[in-house]
Structure 1
């Protein structure tokens, strides 16, 4: 007789079968959860942290969360986080601009009034510890199909040698055909120049002086008052300035450039400010001669600052009209002319030349300004440096002057193709500038093709590299949650703990005075793998604690009392209870970083003398090696454990 289960048995069997089916369906999730739990356990172990380091997030009160576009360490120990409008058109339209000061010692924050839109400006450390901020955003881009009113550049002429002319935003320029165009910004047209001309008759007798007047000129972006193609023109003509009367109307007029319905790029501003770290406020200085958006500012050996590249006031990349800021006079003057793509990485080298490793970010044609080389500012000559693999993938790459600066080696890491290219490279390369004929040599490959990588020089002469994405702006969920240390002496990478927060475009990283690394920002194009949801700016901040601080953080070298300036011998002496523990000393310039470009950071090897209760450091006198300014002094033990930094001003 066949066995027939009871109703109760049937229910039990069906229940077990159902559980088995559910368990089978959920096995991947269960395994994933178990893997995640194990990973969390593993990275929390002291032994793991002592080998790879660790990450932690900073608790930022909501009112201080911002879109970190720029980050700079000040000699007060605080970090200046600049957003401006933060790549948000709505904030730009409202005139809502952000700057936040973060104190890493107390994890406290302060908002700073921000007078202009410093979104995509340039910045550099000044000798007295102030931060020069110049350029930024005058107008957001409009893509093809979004331009309803024709727009373009209008050159404005002033033939009056006795006075400059100021035209306010909204000034109307009328074409000979009666089409009106409105200026989008204030513009000042300098007065005309009088030039004395000497002439001679046939007998060689000097004739009475003649005066030639050269009109003053400025440029302003204008838009048609009427929508549609009827206002498009590529013909140059003289335009009446509506509202001017008498001699002003005769002497002042517009000359149109191309006025089109094509894509209109971001436009820059001329404004410049010094941020005072003690007063914690922006102080206006003379504006630049040229408007700049995406410029690089690089400090020179005499304390002046060179401003290079950027999009101008009509959205055109600067042709090479670079200029120099003098912090003593607070004024700008013309610099050597040379074209670069926007945000070029330019490193001051021994002897005063600037080295361009071909790293850049953003704008410029693929066939111009992309070759690496040494730029001599005095002669305005450029010596190309060969040997760079994947030379068409240097945009959004990281680069730095390797530690110590005396070695004069520059490294480039990763990068991608121009613009929205999907190409990215694993390539790293190093060039030794001390050689008679320097050329790039391949370094170790990154784990995968990487754009927007951030690289930070550490007190133990290693280089910490983190984050980035494989595709343009993290497209297709291509953020890279990896970090590694580069060892310049061994020319190898060593794995570091992985960050939790993905970062790509508009992200930054910098060294803090306590030896940790802070990471900020990220501006992905999309938030999902299928690229259907528009991205949101990453406002979380992570801090990396290196392995040495986990191994010996409670027993790190300590520098006691000492001076903030060097003596006449370029030395400084600091008290310490255990000078025998001090193995190395480094003078490290604080970062000012944006768009993976940080031309400020450098680490200088110092001479070291020990006594029974002190250490004395010897600082090189060469300002091309040690530009004037404030520096962090770190000492490390023989295991690379850093002290907390002491601040020293080099004059």
Structure 2
């Protein structure tokens, strides 16, 4: 007789089976939970943190959370987080522009009234510690298929040598066929230029003076009053300015090459301001000659600031008209002419030339202005630098002047293809500008292809790199939760603790005066790995504590009382009880960073002597202002284990 299980056995078996099935179904979640728990335990251990560092998300009160498009460290120790409209069309339309000032010393925040849309502006540290902010957004882009009214750039001419003409926003331009177009912004056209030809004798007779009038010109964006194909034109024409009378009507007119419904790019503004760290407010200065959106501002050896590239007031890349700001007169003047794509990475090198690493943030044709080179501003000559691999993947790459600045080595890290390209590269490359014939040589690879990588100089002469994504704006869930240290002396990477917050487009990282690194922002295109949900801007602030701070069990070196400025010999003496422990000193310029571009930060090695009483140290700063541009710097000293002091702020004239 065959065995027949009892009903009780059947129930027990079924119950056990259900438990086994449920356990099997939940095994991945259970394993993941256990793995996460173990990982959290592991990274909290002192031994781990001494080797890899640690991360912490900062508590930001809701009313101070902001879309940090720009971040700059001020000599007060506070961080200026600039959003402007924050890549938010609704805030732009409402005129809601935001800036928040964060004090990392006590984690307090303050809202700063923001007079213009500084979204995608440029910024640079000035000699007196103010931050120059120039450019921003005049109009958001309208994509292909969404443009309802024909529009484009209108060149407004003025043939009167006697007066300039201002046409307010809303001025109507009428075509020869009667189609009307309306200006979106105010535009001022200067007076025409009057030139005289010198009189001369011929055949014993005096010939009369001759006068030549050259019309002045300005640009303004216009769009058709009415939607419809009748407003489309691809032929050059002259346009009447409706409302002008008499001589003004004859002297002032518009010219346009084409007015279409093609994609309309972002448009820049001319406004410029200095942010005063003491008063904690924006102070207006003279506007730029050209409107700029996505410009780079780089400090020169005399303290003036060069503004380069950007999209202008009709949405075109500025064709090469660069300009220079003088912080003494608060005015702009014409700079050397040279074309670059937007947000080009330009570094002041020893001797005064600017190095263009090839890194940039995007706008501009793929075949123009993307090759690295040395730019001699005085001669306006450009010498291309060969040797870089993946030259078609320099967009959204990171560039950094390696420490110490005296070595004159510059590194390029990662990057991707032009625009929304799927390409990304793990390539790094280093150029040694001290060589007679410099060229890029390949460095160690990043763990994977990376766009939007942040790179931050540390006081121990390493470079901390973090974040980024494999794909355009982190699409397909491609944010990279990894970080690493680059050691220039060993030319090698070492692992660092992994961040918990993804950072891609519109993200920043910078060194704080206490030796930590703060990270901000991120603007993913999508909010999931399947690209089915729109992304949301990352407003959390995460701070990295490097291993050197976890190793400081016996305390950090301390520099005490001392001057805020150098003496006539470039020296400064500080009291300290740690003179015997201190082995090195670095002068570190504070960051002003956006779009993976930070051309301000640099670390300069200083001469170091110790007082005979063992209670003072004296640092000597190089006198070469192409190596140490004027401004405020953080002074760090380190011991033999690479443990840094907290920074002292000191001004270099």
Mark the CA change 1:42 to 1:206 in structure 2 (over 3 Å): closer, same or farther.
Answer: farther
Separation of aligned partners in 2, 1:417 and 1:362: 9
Aligned residue number for residue 648 of structure 1: 650
Quote how far apart the aligned CAs of 1:209 are: 2.6
Q: C-alpha offsets along residues 483-536 of structure 1, whole Å, 9 cap, x if unaligned? A: 000000000001000000011000000000000000000011111111111111
Provide the secondary structure at the position in 2 that maps to 1:399.
strand
Mark the CA change 1:317 to 1:55 in structure 2 (over 3 Å): closer, same or farther.
Answer: same
Separation of aligned partners in 2, 1:173 and 1:578: 73
Provide the secondary structure at the position in 1 that maps to 2:580.
helix
Separation of aligned partners in 2, 1:268 and 1:552: 47
Aligned residue number for residue 73 of structure 1: 73
- 1:198, 1:206 within 8 Å by CA — same for their partners in 2? no
Q: C-alpha offsets along residues 526-573 of structure 1, whole Å, 9 cap, x if unaligned? A: 111111111111111100000010010661100101110001111001
**What is the correspondence of 1:248-287 to structure 2 with a 5 Å cutoff?**
248-287=248-287
Aligned residue number for residue 415 of structure 1: 415
Separation of aligned partners in 2, 1:60 and 1:553: 29
- 1:198, 1:207 within 8 Å by CA — same for their partners in 2? no
Is 1:24 the equivalent of 2:24? yes
Aligned residue number for residue 172 of structure 1: 172
Q: C-alpha offsets along residues 34-58 of structure 1, whole Å, 9 cap, x if unaligned? A: 1111000000001000000000001
**What is the correspondence of 1:28-107 to structure 2 with a 5 Å cutoff?**
28-107=28-107
Separation of aligned partners in 2, 1:206 and 1:344: 56
TM-score normalized by the length of structure 2: 0.98
Separation of aligned partners in 2, 1:438 and 1:229: 55
Aligned residue number for residue 506 of structure 2: 506
**What is the correspondence of 1:501-580 to structure 2 with a 5 Å cutoff?**
501-552=501-552, 555-580=555-580
Separation of aligned partners in 1, 2:435 and 2:303: 27
**What is the correspondence of 1:349-364 to structure 2 with a 5 Å cutoff?**
349-364=349-364
Mark the CA change 1:206 to 1:136 in structure 2 (over 3 Å): closer, same or farther.
Answer: farther
Separation of aligned partners in 2, 1:137 and 1:569: 44
Mark the CA change 1:170 to 1:509 in structure 2 (over 3 Å): closer, same or farther.
Answer: same
Q: Runs of 5+ in structure 2 lacking a partner?
A: none
Is 1:453 the equivalent of 2:453? yes
Mark the CA change 1:12 to 1:270 in structure 2 (over 3 Å): closer, same or farther.
Answer: same
Separation of aligned partners in 1, 2:401 and 2:593: 14
RMSD (Å) for aligned C-alpha atoms: 1.1
**What is the correspondence of 1:214-613 to structure 2 with a 5 Å cutoff?**
214-552=214-552, 555-611=555-611, 612-613=614-615
Quote how far apart the aligned CAs of 1:10 are: 3.0
Separation of aligned partners in 1, 2:187 and 2:90: 24
Q: More displaced, 245-254 or 512-521?
A: 245-254
Provide the secondary structure at the position in 1 that maps to 2:412.
strand
Quote how far apart the aligned CAs of 1:243 are: 1.5
- 1:121, 1:292 within 8 Å by CA — same for their partners in 2? yes
Provide the secondary structure at the position in 2 that maps to 1:615.
strand
- 1:187, 1:218 within 8 Å by CA — same for their partners in 2? yes
Q: More displaced, 335-344 or 550-559?
A: 550-559
Aligned residue number for residue 621 of structure 1: 623
Q: More displaced, 252-261 or 182-191?
A: 252-261
- 1:465, 1:486 within 8 Å by CA — same for their partners in 2? yes
Separation of aligned partners in 1, 2:109 and 2:212: 58
Mark the CA change 1:499 to 1:4 in structure 2 (over 3 Å): closer, same or farther.
Answer: same
Separation of aligned partners in 1, 2:554 and 2:76: 24
Mark the CA change 1:553 to 1:604 in structure 2 (over 3 Å): closer, same or farther.
Answer: farther
Quote how far apart the aligned CAs of 1:162 are: 2.1
Q: C-alpha offsets along residues 320-364 of structure 1, whole Å, 9 cap, x if unaligned? A: 000000011111111000011100000000000000111111111
Separation of aligned partners in 1, 2:63 and 2:207: 73
Q: More displaced, 1-10 or 456-465?
A: 1-10
Aligned residue number for residue 636 of structure 2: 634
Provide the secondary structure at the position in 1 that maps to 2:202.
coil
Separation of aligned partners in 2, 1:397 and 1:150: 35
Provide the secondary structure at the position in 2 that maps to 1:499.
coil
Separation of aligned partners in 2, 1:469 and 1:370: 22
Q: C-alpha offsets along residues 69-121 of structure 1, whole Å, 9 cap, x if unaligned? A: 00000000000000111111111100101100000001010010111111000
Quote how far apart the aligned CAs of 1:208 are: 3.4
Q: Runs of 5+ in structure 1 lacking a partner?
A: none
Separation of aligned partners in 2, 1:489 and 1:354: 24
Separation of aligned partners in 2, 1:562 and 1:554: 24
Provide the secondary structure at the position in 2 that maps to 1:274.
strand
TM-score normalized by the length of structure 1: 0.99
- 1:428, 1:444 within 8 Å by CA — same for their partners in 2? yes
Quote how far apart the aligned CAs of 1:202 are: 3.1
Separation of aligned partners in 2, 1:385 and 1:446: 22
Quote how far apart the aligned CAs of 1:214 are: 1.8
Q: More displaced, 545-554 or 340-349?
A: 545-554
Quote how far apart the aligned CAs of 1:277 are: 0.5
Separation of aligned partners in 1, 2:207 and 2:46: 91
Quote how far apart the aligned CAs of 1:206 are: 4.8
Separation of aligned partners in 1, 2:172 and 2:283: 33
Aligned residue number for residue 108 of structure 1: 108
- How many residues were matched structurally? 651
Separation of aligned partners in 1, 2:207 and 2:247: 30
Provide the secondary structure at the position in 2 that maps to 1:258.
coil
Provide the secondary structure at the position in 2 that maps to 1:374.
strand
Provide the secondary structure at the position in 2 that maps to 1:549.
helix
Q: C-alpha offsets along residues 563-596 of structure 1, whole Å, 9 cap, x if unaligned? A: 1000111100111112011111000000000000
Provide the secondary structure at the position in 2 that maps to 1:363.
coil
